[in-house]
Structures are given as structure tokens and as C-alpha cells.
Amino acid sequence: MTFARRWPTYVLGSLLVLCALIPVRADEPDWTFDPLQRPAIPNVHDGRWERNAIDAFILAKLEAKQLRPNSPADKLTLLKRVTYDLTGILPSSEEVAAFLRDESPDAYTKVVDRLLGSPRFGERWAQHWLDVVRFAESEGFKFDRYRPEAWRYRDYVIDAFNNDLPYDRFVSQQIAGDELEPDNIQALIATGFYRLHPEESNGSDYRQIRQDILNDVTDVFGMTFMGLTMGCARCHDHKFDPITQNDYFELQAFFAPMVQRDDVQLAPGEMRLRYATDMQTWETATKVIRDEITTMLEPIRKDLFEELIVALDIETQAALRTPVEKRTPMQVQLAQLGSKQLNDRFKKMFRRLAPAQRTRYDELQKKLASFEKPKPLPTAFGVSDIGPKSPPVFRLLAGNYLKPREEVQPDFPECLELPEPSIHPPKKLPASTGRRSALAQWLVQGNHPLTSRVIVNRLWQHYFGRGIVATPNDFGEMGGNPSHPELLDLLGSELVKNGWRLKSIHRMIVLSATYQQSSFPEQNPTLAVAMKVDPENQLLWHTRVRRRDAEMIRDAILQSSGQLNVRMQGESARVELAPSVAENRYAWLANPDPFERNRRSIYVYQRRNLLLPMFQAFDGPDRTNSCPTRFQTVTAPQALIMLNGEFTLTNARQLASELLSRTIDPKELARLVYQRVLIRSMATEDAQRAVDFLTSQTIRIRSEGVPTESVLPLPLITGIDPCFAASVVDLCHALMNSAEFLSIE
């Protein structure tokens, strides 16, 4: 038998071997799709360590393995840890001093409550959410067009977390805010969740583009809110989870009636009325001019339309040729998607005018500009339904939109064993199908098997470096086994019990003894046993040391140098790019105001085709795919960015300049640098090493010649030895590159 005839046997055999190697949950109960129930709190032998119910579940697992938890972290370490986890920034010297002085039993609790109430809290935790929903401010693909209003969704998320918006409402507003709360501007902005997908708006096959968008939305919805890889069922029944291909397209049917909205009105009613009146006045005054321009351009528009439309798929061509009032729901969607490309080209059609016409056109434009046009009202990106009827949805053979099979109706995955949807147009919005409202209401039921479990697992992950389920986007058979399934149910139940208020779970976690442990394994009294039975620390017998996220590294550098701009919200900051990156076709122009470039990293412009080099080096997400977990790599570009990058050096120069304006005493300078960068006082050996470094570095710099301006403080204080000043810059720079600065213990 030849290999050509035997290869199917080889392939099948290989697949069987791979399946045998795949870890399954044979040793764990299949709890994923069971209704949420509050578990009993376990009894433990030594209850003195416990501070709340979390600790009972952790300690029970430890005691079962003859392990003990670590001793508590010291006060300064704990303050730095909880400040980072809750706000993403460094504690100030005043906050450090106040906490260290406070000997009251509730000193730490007061710090936690203060941080939970800080506006920095929403900025920190919004970053985690934006990773999951793959937030970006451009479309991706070749042209990567800017989405000018996408930042409003980012600000919505920040506000939601700061205001402790109940998670069930947070979810509902994103899924169906336009149907459930049509009079709430924030709820309308929340539907921008559906506008975060990559989109090839300059494509040719808009049937395929429409299907790609629906697939992306369905997949991200499943991972974000349910922790399920629904996308695996797009082409066939899920190979591991009880999710059928029918389930996939029935879920997709909830989103099928959506149409994109770039004109979600944010202005109050009286402002809209005033704007309408002003626009009517402007239109009346400019009608003659505009009519002449339209008459001049209309023949070109018709010719250009015919040139462009032939490159599109047949169905989109038919949709664009059909009068608006006669279009089917599907045609309305296709025409909207296809019109983006056409309208972009129509903006430049004046270039085709004959010379004499172009002269007249320019004259008319000048006349038109002499009439002050009312400033447009603020708008947001969002969605709405196309109307009370939806385009039909079919199960697609192998996921191919060209191969539709039977029609399907919106329904929930059967494996969740919950009632079928009750769908009807919302009373406040009868021109909508009500499909997404039904989906939202189903998802936020108190006993839903997944909604609360998935979000509390995400919170746990960011405090401990790993979720109770280590695969936050996949609670299915191929996901990680839960380390503490009963604890996950406790946290999920607590969330529902507390009115879906996430801050109650944050507070519970950071007040636990589990969270407050020391990060030094060698301090554990059962170290030898722990290294044998749990070397990966899945049972949490000590705190894991974590590296700061990419954005938090940048923020910490700016904060250390005193250059961090804490202005909240609004349009994104466009930071200065290195010359090598500035040549990229997707590069942007930096904000003219240097201080505006120094805003917190969550406000930095996020372009899909050009990530900020520091974010890319330190494992920031690609902004195209949902990122549930940021992996922490150690690579050469990280050292190059920190040591050779202009950003770190510039901030080291800024810090050195500020400190030199206060003192030139080497020991005092070293103390101040440690305080600002590492947020601690120097140990005796640190002080001596720092002073020795300043002395020896000054001598070395002097022997090599006068330092260039690029390494001197900004600005250099008159009368100070430039060689000594450069050594202070080097000390600041070195500490910003230290493992202690980059890590959270």
C-alpha cells in the first residue's frame, strides 16, 4: 500500500494520540454548566489565620496537603501591592508615611476603602476589561482607519467601575442598552462594545464582511461574558464542549438585526432643538450655493458610483441600487457597510472637475465657508436594530456564508438548560426586535451558571496572577481545571447577593489573609513539603511576585519623575514616537502639548497596526483578539526599551533635575531617589552603595569628557557640576531599570 493511500490512517492515528494527550477533567466534577449555588464554608483546624470566608477555602486545601500559608507581608510591601492592584500607580510618600504611622487595627481597611473610592480605581480596572473586549481606536486591516469616537466607550467603562455600576446592569447596557435604557446616554455609549471588532471597510465582498463581523461579535460575546469558546462551533459541533453548530448560529441570531450607528446623539433635548434651529438657518442662507455645488458634482457622483459599484459583490450592488424605502433588512445592512467606501471616495470627487468648473467650485467653497456652520453635536459609536424584523439567519455549512442550510431562530445554548427566550419589541423602542434585550436578561439571571463565575474569576486572576480557572476565556472542557471550584462559587454567590456590586468582591479579596501573605517562599514553615506537592503555588501558600503591566510601567516612570498628567477621560493622547517608528505608515502626530502626551497609559491612542513600542515589548495585547491573560515574557527588547529608550532616560533626567534643585548632598540625593522610584527608604548598605556609585560615576564621566546635553538633567541647575549631575541621572535611570521597580511583591 502506497503512502498516498495510507495517509488517512496515519492522520487518524495521530489525532487519536493527540486526543489521548489532551488533559481532561476526569478527576474533577463537571460544574461548568451547573446552576450557581452558594457552597458551605469548610471547617479548618487553625481558624486564627482566617480573616474572611476566602481564607477558609484556601486553608482547607492547604491543610489537606499538610501545608501552611506564609506569614503576612510587611506594611510597606502590602501598601505598595494593594495600591498597585487597585489603582495601578505608586503610593505617594505622604500615603506611605500616614499608613506606617497608623497603628490602629483597621489601618489597612481604611487604605483599601480609600483606594476603592479613588478615580484611579476605574482607570486601572478598565484596562483589564478593555483587554478582554479587544478595545482599539482603529479598524485594522490595510487602511486601519481611525475611529474618532471609540474613546467614549473606554470612558464609559472607567465611569462604570468607579461608580460601582452593578455588573448585571454593566453587562445589560453593553448588550442591549439601546433597547433597555434608550433615554440613558451612558447605556447608548455602552453598545459601543459591538463596534470594537476589526473591519475591512474598503473591501469588496460585503456579504463576507458582514458575516465576519457577526462571527467576531458572537465569538467575543461568548468568551467575554460566558467564558466559552463559541467560535469552535462555527464550522461544526464543538469537539469538546456540549455546544452544537446550531447553538452557535442560534446565538448569532440575537445579533443579526444590528446596524452600526455613528450618530448616537449625546446632547440633551434642548441643545438638539437649538442645533436644529441653527442648522435650518444655515441651510436656508446657503441653499443657493449648495445647490450649485450639488448640480456641478452630481454627474461625477453618478459616474463614480458606477465605477466603484462593479467591484462589489452582487448582493451589495443590488442593495445600493435599491431605493432606500424598498430595501430588505439585509440590504439595509449591506448598503450601510458598502456606503462607507463609496462615501470616502465621494469626498474627493471634486478633483475630477474640469479646470473652469474647479475654479468655480473653489469660489463656491469660499462663499460657503463665510457662513458660520453650527458646530456638530457630540455623538458616539453604537448600534441599534434595523427595525422590528431581522434578516434571516441560517446554519452555515462549514461556516461558509455561501452555503446556508436550515434557517435558525435566536435561542440559548442547550447545555445551559435554561428556558427558551421570550422575545418581543421593547415598549420604549417598538422599532427594535427585542432580541438583545432577551439575551441580556437571560445572561444576568442570578443562578446563571457562568456570568458571575466568569467575572469573579477575572478579578481573582488580576490579584493573584492566575485565575481559579487559569483560562479566563474558556471554562469548557479544554480550559484549566479550577483550583478551588467551591471558592469560585462562593465569590459568584457573594456578587449576586451584594447586588452585583464588584467593589464588594474587590474588598473581600484584598482584605483576606490569602491576599496579604508575604511573597517570599523561603519564609513558609512548610517549604520543603510545598515544593514537592505544589511547586507552582496553585494552592496559594505564598503570594506570587508579578511584573507590572506594560501600561503601569510607563505610568510608574512618569509618576516617579513627577511628569504624570492625571487628567481623566476625553480624546486619547497621542504620545511622541521614536524617529524610527515615526516613519511607519501608521504613525501619528504627537500632541503639541508635551504634558498632554504624559497622560495615564489607558488614555494613550490605541491603533491596531502600530502598538506603542513599550507596550509591545512588555507583552501588551495586539488589540485584534480578546486578551484574557497577559503572558509575562523576558526578552531583549524589554531591556533595550528601558535602558536605551528615550522615554525612560528623559524621565530620569526630569527627576534628577527636580531633586538637584532641592539638594546636592549625595546621601540626601540617594535617599530622595529611592523614595521617589522604589517608594522606600534606603537600607544602610543601599545608602553606601548609592553614594559610592555617585562618586565613582562622576569620576568616570569626568575622565571621559564633559557629558552631552542628552544625558544631563532637564534643565541643568546653574552652578552644579555637570559630571555629578549626569551621575544623578544615571542613578535615577538605574533604579527605573531595577527588578524591584518593575515588580510587585
Q: Which of 618, 650, 612 has the alpha carbon at shortest distance from 637?
A: 618
CA distance 43 to 61: 11
SS3 sequence, 88-140? CCCCCHHHHHHHHHCCCCCHHHHHHHHHHCCHHHHHHHHHHHHHHCCCCCECC
Q: Quick check: 484 pLDDT over 80? A: yes
Q: Is pLDDT larger for residue 743 or for residue 416?
A: 743
The proportion of the chain whose per-residue pLDDT surpasses 70, expressed as a percent, equals 96
Q: Which cell numbers in the block locate residue 270?
A: 434642548
Provide CB contacts within 8 A for 705, sequence distance 6+.
Answer: none
Q: Which residues of 475-490 are buried (b: 16+ CB within 10 A; e: fewer)?
A: bbbbbbbbbbbbbbbb
Q: What is the pLDDT of residues 489-507, one digit of tens each?
A: 999 999 999 999 999 999 9
Q: How confident is the model at residue 17 (pLDDT cuts 50, 70, 90)?
A: very low
- State how far the alpha carbon of 550 is from the alpha carbons of 576, 627, 630, 678, 700, in Å: 17, 14, 10, 17, 33
Confidence of residue 48 (pLDDT cuts 50, 70, 90): confident
pLDDT band at 27 (very low <50, low <70, confident <90, very high): very low
Distance CA 485, CA 492 (A): 11
Give bridge partners of residue 261 from the DSSP assignment.
382
State the Cα–Cα distance between residues 55 and 50, nearest whole angstrom: 5
Q: What is the 3-state secondary structure (H, E, C) of 296-347?
A: HHHHHHHHHHHHHHCCCCHHHHHHHHCCHHHCCHHHHHHHHHHHHHHHHHHC
pLDDT (average), residues 55-75: 95
Cβ(218)–Cβ(396) below 8 Å? no
User: What's the rounded Cα separation, in Å, for the pair 516 and 72?
Assistant: 6
Cα 386 from Cα 322, distance rounded (Å): 16
Name which of 194, 204, 201 is nearest 256 in CA terms: 194
**pLDDT (0 to 100) of residue 33:** 84
Find all residues with CB under 8 Å of 353, minimum gap 6, and list them: 296, 297, 300, 361
Residue 332, exposed/middle/buried by CB under 10 A (0-12, 13-18, 19+)?
middle
Q: Give the pLDDT band of residue 6 (cuts 50, 70, 90).
A: very low
Backbone angles phi, psi at 138, to 5 degrees: -145, 165
Mean pLDDT of 209-236: 96
Mean pLDDT rounded to a whole number for the chain: 92
How big is the CA angle at 126 (ends 122 and 127), to the nearest 5 degrees? 125
Bond preceding residue 715 cis, omega within 30 of 0: yes
pLDDT surpasses 60 at 18: no
End-to-end CA distance of the chain: 62
Looking at residue 645, its pLDDT comes to 92
What pLDDT score was predicted for residue 2?
37
β-pair partners for 258: 385
Q: What is the pLDDT of residues 269-307, one digit of tens each?
A: 899 999 999 999 999 999 999 999 999 999 999 999 999
Cα angle 49-50-52, degrees, rounded to a multiple of 5: 160
Counting other chains too, the contacts that 399-402 makes at CB distance below 8 Å and 24 or more residues apart are 399/215, 399/234, 399/235, 401/207, 401/208, 401/211
Q: Are 233 and 248 in contact (CB under 8 A)?
A: yes
Is residue 710 helix, strand or coil?
helix
The model's pTM: 0.93
How far apart CA 248 and CA 194 sit, in angstroms, is 17
Average pLDDT over residues 580-586: 91
C-alpha neighbours within 13 Å on the C-beta side of residue 518 = 13
Q: Has residue 7 got a pLDDT over 80?
A: no
Q: Is the pLDDT score of 714 beyond 90?
A: no
SS3 359: helix
Instruction: Judge whether residue 600 has pLDDT over 70.
Output: yes
Average pLDDT score over residue span 713-731:
91
- Give the bridge partners for 604, in sequence order: 573
Residues whose CB falls within 8 Å of the CB of residue 638, separated by 6 or more in sequence, listed in order? 617, 618
Q: What's the pLDDT tens digit per position in 430-447?
A: 889 999 999 999 999 998
**Contact residues for 698 (Cβ-Cβ < 8 A; gap 6+):** 721, 723, 724, 726, 727
pLDDT for the residue numbered 21: 36
| 14 has pLDDT over 60 | no
Of 406, 416, 407, give the one whose Cα is nearest residue 439.
416
d(CA 45, CA 394): 58
pLDDT at 11: 40
- What is the per-residue pLDDT for 5? 36
Residues 6+ apart with CB under 8 A from 290: 283, 368
Average pLDDT of span 106-119: 97
Residue type, 716: L
Summarize the confidence of residues 449-465 as an average pLDDT. Answer: 97
The C-alpha atoms of residue 723 and residue 404 are separated, in whole angstroms, by: 74
Are 529 and 67 in contact by the 8 Å Cβ rule? The answer is yes
Q: How far is 344 from 533, CA to CA, in rounded Å?
A: 63
Quote the CA–CA distance of 253 and 260 in Å, as a whole number: 16
The yes-or-no verdict on residue 478 having pLDDT over 90 is: no
Q: What is the DSSP string of 402-454?
A: TSEEEEE-----GGG--PPP-----TT-TTS--HHHHHHHHHT-TT-SSHHHH
Confidence of residue 30 (pLDDT cuts 50, 70, 90): low
Model pLDDT, residue 25: 43
